Amino acid sequence: MSNREKELIENIAEVKDEVLNATARAGRKPDEVKLLAVSKLHAASDIEILYRAGHRSFGESYVQEALAKQEELSGLDIDWHFIGGLQSKKAKYVAGKFSAVHSVDSSKLAVLLNKKAESLGVVQNVFIQVNTACEGQKCGVGEEQLPAFVEEIMELENLNLKGLMALPPFFDDAEGARPYFARLRMLAEGMEKLFGIKLPELSMGMTGDYRVAIEEGSTMVRVGTKIFGQRPGYN
């Protein structure tokens, strides 16, 4: 086994252990939380190592990079998730290629994803990225816009709204993120009541704070650095 294989397999085992422990501590069932290994800016060969070791779900953030990896690993039955910011003009490359798009944050993007999904004859699972914290529009839909946006997505027949996603600000102490996670869960419950729908998934929690996110109800944690190490280059 190469050093990289050893490192990745050890790292993911540790994260899986901690996910299970946090899930149990929160009094939740082991299968309630899915681990997405966030492989952005890491080599396709890293994904393949984890796949061979039994892991299936991966998160990617950059369209071109993600599609190139999908092509390279096309023989593998990978559960791909798109988690990064997505420009609406790139919706057509993404629809139908990922188990879920976690970062839907504008009507324009939703409409274009729906259009492409319709033309492919598929239903695309999506999350609404909610801006629970940061300034500007890069980081999700504002809370005030959420009800109208949920309603809009419900009307798009080739999108299936699975839940909400958020990226809270970074805190040195993960406890700082807790109120943002709790808030996202509350918003999801509010939307369920308001529209009489089910939003079963909450995509929240990263390397620094996934344990806290699980305690606050996360069903999908997106962990990169703790599995793959520092990302090369930026981000």
Ligand X SMILES: *Cc1c(COP(=O)(O)O)cnc(C)c1O
- The strand pairing partners of 59, in sequence order, are 38, 81
| Segment lying near ligand X (by CB under 6 A), choices 148-156, 171-179, 190-198, 221-229 | 221-229
| Segment lying near ligand X (by CB under 6 A), choices 2-10, 27-35, 69-77, 216-224 | 216-224
Cβ-closest position to ligand X = 224
- The strand pairing partners of 222, in sequence order, are 36
| Segment lying near ligand X (by CB under 6 A), choices 48-56, 173-181, 188-196, 205-213 | 205-213
Q: Does residue number 8 form part of the binding site for ligand X (CB under 6 A)? A: no
Q: x-or-dash pattern for ligand X, window 22-51, by CB under 6 A?
A: ----------------x-x-----------
95 in helix, strand or coil?
coil
Instruction: Map the footprint of ligand X across residues 92-151, applying CB under 6 A.
Output: none
Q: Which is nearer to ligand X, 12 or 38 (CB)?
A: 38
| CB 150 within 8 Å of CB 161 | yes
Least distance from ligand X to the Cβ atom of residue 145, Å: 20
Q: Minimal CA–CA distance to 202: which of 123, 144, 130?
A: 130
Kindly tell me the sign of the dihedral angle through the C-alpha atoms of 163, 143, 167, 69: positive
Query: What whole-number distance in Å separates Cα of residue 151 and Cα of residue 196?
Result: 11
Q: Does residue number 168 form part of the binding site for ligand X (CB under 6 A)? A: no
Q: Does residue number 206 form part of the binding site for ligand X (CB under 6 A)? A: yes
Strands (E), the chain: 34-38, 57-60, 79-82, 100-104, 124-131, 141-142, 159-165, 201-203, 220-223
Q: Which of 167, 177, 184, 220 binds ligand X (CB under 6 A)?
A: 167
Least distance from ligand X to the Cβ atom of residue 199, Å: 18
Tokens 């990617």 found at: 60
Least distance from ligand X to the Cβ atom of residue 210, Å: 8
What Rg do the C-alpha atoms of the chain give, in angstroms?
A: 17
Q: How far is CA 1 from CA 8, 140, 171, in A?
A: 11, 42, 36
Q: x-or-dash pattern for ligand X, window 75-94, by CB under 6 A?
A: --------xx----------
Least distance from ligand X to the Cβ atom of residue 205, Å: 8
How many Å is the maximal CA-CA distance in the chain? 53
Q: Which residues bind ligand X (CB under 6 A)?
A: 38, 40, 61, 83-84, 167, 206-208, 222-225
